[in-house]
Amino acid sequence: MIGITRHAVYLPRHRIEREKIAAAHGGKPVLEGERTAIGFDEDALTLALEAVQGLDLPACGGIYFASTTAPYLERMNAALLATACDLPEEIAVADFAHSLRAGTVALMAALDRAAVGGQEPILVVAADVREASPESPEEQWFGDGAAAVAVGREHVVAAAKAWASVSDDFLDFVRRDKDERITSFASRFTVEGYCRIVGRAIARVLEKSGLRPSEIARVILPPLDPKMATRVASELGFRAEQVQETFLDRVGMLGCAMPLFLLSAALEQARPGDRILLVGYGSGADAVLFEVTPLIEGYVVRDPIAEQLRRGLRFPSYERFRKAREYFRHHEEGPVLSNVFYEKEEARTIRLRGTECGECGLRQFPPTRICQRCHSMTGLREVSLGRQGEVFTYTVDWLAASPMPPTVLAVVDIEGGGRLYVQVTDVEPSEVRIGMRVRLTLRRLGAGGGLYHYYWKCRPEGGEDG
Amino acid sequence: MAESLKDKVAVIGIGCTKFGELHDKSLSELMAEAALAAYEDAGIEPERVEAAWLGTFSPGFGGGKASVTLADALRLYGKPITRVENYCATGTDAFRNACLAVAAGVYEVVLVVGAEKLRDRPVRGLQREGTHPYLEAGSTPPGLFALAANRYFHRFGGDRHTLAKVAVKNHHNGALNPKAHFRMEVTEEQVLAAPLVAYPFGLYDCCPTTDGAAAVIICRADRARQFREDPVYVKGIGLAVETGWPFFDPTFEYIGFPATVAAAAEAYRMAGIRNPAREISVAEVHDCFTWTEIANYEDLGFCKKGEGRYFIEEGRSALAGDLPVNPSGGLKSFGHPIGASGVRMLTEIVLQLRGQAGARQVKNAELGLVHNLGGPGSVACVVVLGR
């Protein structure tokens, strides 16, 4: 049996109400509710890493990263993700891009790999931070987010039964190499095209598996348009109650992460035996049929979607929302780092390696030749530090240069040992206190010399332990 | 065991510029002004100076990085000059090195100059040059000390009201001092109402960025009376360096600074001091932030750990208290041009011991202490002077 063994989503903590966006342009919201939005230090890669960390897997056979908005166009983003997870070099990495179905394309590539007995599990992660023109409907109804699944043969909670694709160079949303923002062709015509193309992919999978639409418990249709969901479903032969809810009023359209996000949402509610039909759409369509296994009953979702929705922090203004998205387009004043320096630094600043003393057991960061406590010079070994901890002390600093002051800094005791001094992000300063539980999160610290400078910050712990 | 510097070196001349935003003066003008005042105070011609030490932290526009800056400012050529940089302990460490040379008998008369021109810089506060591009990102000096203040409050209690009392005291003292950067009293209410800089520090909890220079002339103790009737003698000096990254040290408690404890122990050993709270008459300590002064009371042994708040609350460190601290106004009010500060604090203690401190004179000053604390509490230097 091959299929999904773990799943997780990550929604950036910031939100903006659509009323606020519409009001800034003197218009009315195209859709009720609010959307998720990145903070100034986030991008598709940092969202993806959060989703991967949410899988809570210590080891894997590879990482497939799907995004239409990956921060690097030349340099393997998945390799950077693997480094941040401190994974060994033998794993398989690949970037998937350029289409809203990049997430499902990556998923099917992982299924194909698992089907021929490749190393597993493959972590498939999709993340998007799509840019639409200010005043466009897309600025309101898009959201930012990431979702990840582990594809393997052991501990499968949703077995992949059949999958199929169709290719179609249909024009709906496009972005050229020189464009910062999408061009939208959305209209009733594109909805018709969506139904036609998705319908062909679904027909192929149902034919392969010998099922009728009525035998599907949940069909996952990533929306092409803010209001199309039920209309499309009936055209495709599904009843409204079979259709997975899309969270557009609280999240928005998450680009190529949407299918995996909705798959995770479906799995949070699924029961053994449920058939889930996942659709990916963009320049054609993918359809994957899953059957939920009895293992779903014991599966614990560490940070469920409802919890993440509950923790939202609303931007105080439309201007803040825009500034967060555009800050790094205009700011390159970070240091110019040589690749020689970067290579040396990688172990500590990206892999987050420290040293453990063989004599007294103290874990310390950055890596050291001589133990800080017992001064032992032998038996020290490099270790990967944990990614959770507790605030030992902190300050809220209004002097530090920041696009969104104040800067919260904390000394964090890492679970399993070691102590870090990092910025606290995604937080209301009044929330911070000594003893607060935090998770480490890789963020953009700066940019300069052709690179984004990623380093660890921490954020309040979410989920049941928050 | 190591030897003592006690009574081997004497201070025979001091000079100090007005501290403040000296927009019309360059670094070398300030150095010259301080040094010329010290020559005059010692009653010596510049030719008597055999060697010099320059303490300056941050190369500014127009020099400061190397010993040539002092050589050119004073036209002091053909003689050994060394620049010292040791975070905020720069000034006292320059003095310490000069004392070692004199005590060794290599030179008879030596000049020490501390100078800094912070207001010529394009940014507020201290630049974090030479630090790691990632590992300390977002760090500022008030932020680094605020980490300790918050942990200290968590352990021992106290709050912003406690801190405000230090600001009120040091502003009061500074108002009495003609050379201080700030000469204004503040109330506790004003301190608490000021904008936050790095919680729990507000504007009045932080020392200002200041321009200034100070100089001292030292000589062999056995020659001091050739120059003046009232020399002040070095009784002990201690310097201690701890980790520059306490925030990564899992054993660091963040309630005070081991560097100060170690530096004080060494200085007290040399001076033969057993009970600092009783034996020391007056102290200039490193109040870069109000909380730092409270930690210093404890680390210097003026009171027990955790009891520093009572030391300020009960008025013991006030000008009329039993151990006046920072009669000059401290870094808080006198200003803190990094390399100049330690040397300036020495000049204050010399004035106090000579009985020349005017309106801020401490009664019966016999033994005075100077303390600098540098980096995130990493480097401390303690000097004990006496009559």
- The answer to whether the beta carbons of residues A378 and A370 sit under 8 Å apart is no
Of B171, B181, B286, B336, which is the active-site residue? B336
- Highest-confidence segment of A65-74, A226-235, A236-245: A65-74
Measured between alpha carbons, how far is residue B248 from residues A357, A412, A434, B149, B251 in Å? 15, 9, 16, 17, 9
Q: Is residue B4 part of a domain?
A: no
Say if residue B127's pLDDT is above 90: no
Query: Are B262 and B381 part of one and the same domain?
Result: yes
Comparison of pLDDT for B2 and B16, the residue scoring more = B16
Measured between alpha carbons, how far is residue B240 from residues B81, B87, B243, B253, B336 in Å? 23, 12, 10, 18, 21
Q: How far is it, in rounded angstroms, from Cα B27 to Cα B21?
A: 12
Inter-chain residue contact B248 with A419, CB threshold 8 Å: yes
Query: Are B202 and B324 part of one and the same domain?
Result: yes
Any chain B CB within 8 A of the CB of A395?
A: yes
Average pLDDT of chain B is 96
Q: Which amino acid is at A435?
A: G
User: What sign has the CA pseudo-torsion B345, B348, B352, B357?
Assistant: negative
pLDDT in tens, B305-314: 999 999 999 9
- The answer to whether the beta carbons of residues B101 and B32 sit under 8 Å apart is no
Q: What are phi and psi of A190, to 5 degrees?
A: -70, -30
**What residue spans of A77-127 are helical by DSSP H?**
77-84, 102-115
What pTM does this model have? 0.95
Q: How far is it, in rounded angstroms, from Cα A252 to Cα A233?
A: 19
Q: Which amino acid is at B170?
A: N
Q: What domain count does chain B have?
A: 2
Which CATH number goes with the domain that contains B81?
3.40.47.10
Inter-chain residue contact A402 with B136, CB threshold 8 Å: no
Tokens of B245: 């990254």
Any chain A CB within 8 A of the CB of B127?
A: no
Query: Are B221 and B360 part of one and the same domain?
Result: no
ipTM entry: 0.94
Q: Is domain A3-330 annotated with CATH 3.40.47.10?
A: yes
Q: How far is it, in rounded angstroms, from Cα A127 to Cα A119?
A: 23
Closest CA to B293 of B249, B328, B246, B247: B328
- The answer to whether the beta carbons of residues A216 and A276 sit under 8 Å apart is yes
Say if residue B124's pLDDT is above 80: no
Question: What is the distance of C-alpha B366 from the center of its chain?
Answer: 19
Q: Least CA distance to B253: which residue of chain A?
A: A392
Q: Least CA distance to B144: which residue of chain A?
A: A395
pLDDT in tens, A46-72: 999 999 999 999 899 999 999 999 999
Q: Which of B138, B198, B248 is opposite residue A420, by nearest beta carbon?
A: B248
Query: Are B72 and B173 part of one and the same domain?
Result: no
Query: Are B302 and B319 part of one and the same domain?
Result: yes
Q: How far is it, in rounded angstroms, from Cα B38 to Cα A154?
A: 81
Strand partners, A265: none
Closest CA to A441 of A19, A42, A142: A42
pLDDT in tens, B212-252: 999 999 999 999 999 999 999 999 999 999 999 999 999 99
Inter-chain residue contact A393 with B148, CB threshold 8 Å: yes
Q: How far is it, in rounded angstroms, from Cα B128 to Cα B6?
A: 37
Q: How far is it, in rounded angstroms, from Cα A88 to Cα A63?
A: 12
Question: What is the distance of C-alpha A286 from the center of its chain?
Answer: 20
pLDDT in tens, B247-288: 999 999 999 999 999 999 999 999 999 999 999 999 999 999
Query: Are B261 and B364 part of one and the same domain?
Result: yes
Query: Are B221 and B331 part of one and the same domain?
Result: no
**Active-site residue, B154 included:** no
Instruction: Please report, rounded to a whole number, the percentage of residues in chain B having pLDDT higher than 70.
Output: 98
Query: Are B291 and B334 part of one and the same domain?
Result: yes
* Domain extent at residue B177: 141-208+234-386
pLDDT in tens, A246-303: 999 999 999 999 999 999 999 999 999 999 999 999 999 999 999 999 999 999 999 9
Question: What residues of A are in contact with residue B148 (Cβ under 8 Å)?
Answer: 393
pLDDT in tens, A417-457: 999 999 999 999 999 999 999 999 999 999 999 999 999 99
Q: Which of B198, B248, B252 is opposite residue A365, by nearest beta carbon?
A: B248
DSSP SS3 for B6: coil
Query: Are B216 and B253 part of one and the same domain?
Result: no
Q: Which amino acid is at B100?
A: L
Q: How far is B77 from chain A (nearest CA, A)?
A: 39
Q: Which amino acid is at A58?
A: P
Any chain A CB within 8 A of the CB of B135?
A: yes
Query: Are B321 and B299 part of one and the same domain?
Result: yes
- Identify from B248, B253, B255, B288 which residue to disrupt to test chain A contact, counting A C-beta atoms within 10 A and taking the largest count: B248
Any chain A CB within 8 A of the CB of B137?
A: yes
- The answer, yes or no, to whether the previous bond of A121 is cis (omega within 30 of 0) is yes
Any chain A CB within 8 A of the CB of B61?
A: no
Tokens of A405: 């002051």
Strand partners, B128: none
Query: Are B355 and B279 part of one and the same domain?
Result: yes
Residues 6+ apart with CB under 8 A from A395: A408, A409, B142, B143, B146, B147, B149, B150, B198, B199
Question: What residues of B are in contact with residue A417 (Cβ under 8 Å)?
Answer: 250
Query: Are B191 and B76 part of one and the same domain?
Result: no
Q: How far is B249 from chain A (nearest CA, A)?
A: 6
Inter-chain residue contact B143 with A363, CB threshold 8 Å: no
**Active-site residue, B16 included:** no
Report domain extents, chain A. 3-330, 389-466
Inter-chain residue contact A397 with B138, CB threshold 8 Å: yes
Question: What residues of B are in contact with residue A394 (Cβ under 8 Å)?
Answer: 147, 150
Question: What residues of A are in contact with residue B253 (Cβ under 8 Å)?
Answer: none
